[in-house]
Amino acid sequence: MKKKICWMLAVFMLCAWMAGCTIEVEEQDAGTEESGYHLFYLTASEDGLVKENYAPEEETGEFMLSDLMQRLGKKEDIKGGLSLLSAEVSINSYERRDDLLIIDFNRAYNNMSSAREVLVRAGVARTFLQIPGIRTVRFTVAGNDLLNTKNEKVGDMDRDTFLELSGEDPDAYRYGTFTLYFTDRSGEKLVEETRNVYYKSSLSRERVVLEQLAKGPMVKGNYPTIPGNSAVVDITVADRVCYVTMNRSFGESMDVSPEISLYSVVNSLLAVSDADKVKLSVGNQSGGTLGGSVQLYAFYQENPDLVAPAQEEGAE
């Protein structure tokens, strides 16, 4: 009887050990996902951000700050992504003041193009705003406050400074009213279409706009302006510029001009965003054109001249 009990106990312990290994691996995988921590990189084309899961050995502010600073300073690349800091840019020092983190860069930081600098700023700020206890991040360059393209102080950045249209979505929803721009039968003019949308509250209005444009018009007489399988790769809003990267499907040919497709997106985004301009990229292109005629690597403002008079909306 004792031998039988011992044998059963041994089997039980073996099963428990095997199950424990399996659970441990799943917890490691799930922990990486559920921790919500990420390392940020530039896309290979330097026109967007990509992120990789980050599982710190200790989830303390002191450890994560030191660890993330070291990782950023190593300037390592990943498959499909480049280090945020180029070889010339380095961190002089950093200082934590309660919930504020001040990072001082060398003068080479100011040599970056404005488009890259915004992405680097977003990636670095997002990196350190993940740290427990840090609510704001401030950049300085050689001891002086970082200035934006308008020569204004960037100041303290928090989680609301940059809008990222990705990540986990909680179960909260809300209603929103959006003005979308589709095209008329001729394909030469934009027409307004007002739409009420019930969407997850964690999603920014910019992402909702692009998703709704991809779904196409709901008003008879209006026609689509972008392919239905268009999807957002990345969006960053900073310095009143909305940087948008769409998937390759966005560049597929449509029965409308590239200009109409472009300003359908630009006008719709600027109707809901705090931005004044839109910079659009497709896939991993850092330049190129849309439809062979519209330059992608440029900043576009709203174009009201392409919008048809209100009475033409829904014309049959």
Do 115 and 195 lie in one domain? The reply is: no
pLDDT of residue 152: 82
**Residue 250 domain-assigned (yes or no):** yes
| Residue corresponding to tokens 């009990």 | 5
Tokens of 210: 């692009």
pLDDT at 39: 95
211 and 261 share a domain?
A: yes
Which residue, 125, 145, 165, sits at the end of a domain? Answer: 145
Domain residues for the domain of 185 are: 173-312
The phi, psi pair for 28, rounded to 5°, reads -65, -45
pLDDT of residue 33: 44
Burial of 47-69, coded b for 16+ CB within 10 Å and e otherwise, reads bbbbbeebeeeeeeeeebbebbb
Is residue 233, in this structure, part of any structural domain at all?
A: yes
Same-domain status, 177 and 307: yes
The pLDDT value recorded for residue 310 is 73
Q: How far apart are CA 10 and CA 171, in angstroms?
A: 45
- Number of structural domains, the chain? 2
Domain membership flag for residue 240: yes
Q: What is the pLDDT of residue 114?
A: 78
Query: What is the Cα gyration radius of the chain?
Result: 24
Q: What is the pLDDT tens value at each position of the chain, 316 positions in all?
A: 544 444 444 444 433 333 332 212 222 233 334 457 999 999 887 767 888 999 999 999 999 999 999 999 999 999 888 999 999 999 999 999 999 999 999 999 999 987 788 889 989 999 999 999 999 999 999 999 999 876 889 999 988 776 543 334 344 556 688 999 999 999 999 999 999 886 776 788 999 999 999 999 999 999 999 999 999 888 889 889 999 989 989 988 888 999 999 999 999 999 999 999 999 988 866 567 888 888 887 899 999 999 998 754 444 4
**pTM listed for this prediction:** 0.53
Note whether residue 8 is domain-resident: no
Question: Is 288 within the bounds of a domain?
Answer: yes
| Residues 59, 134 within the same domain | yes
Terminal Cα-to-Cα distance of the chain (whole angstroms):
88
pLDDT of residue 316: 44
- The Cα-based distances of 74 to 1, 69, 224 in angstroms read 62, 9, 46
Residue 274: Cβ-neighbour burial (10 angstroms; 0-12, 13-18, 19+): exposed
Structure tokens at 6: 């011992």
Closest CA to 225 of 192, 267, 183: 183
Residue 150 lies in a domain: no
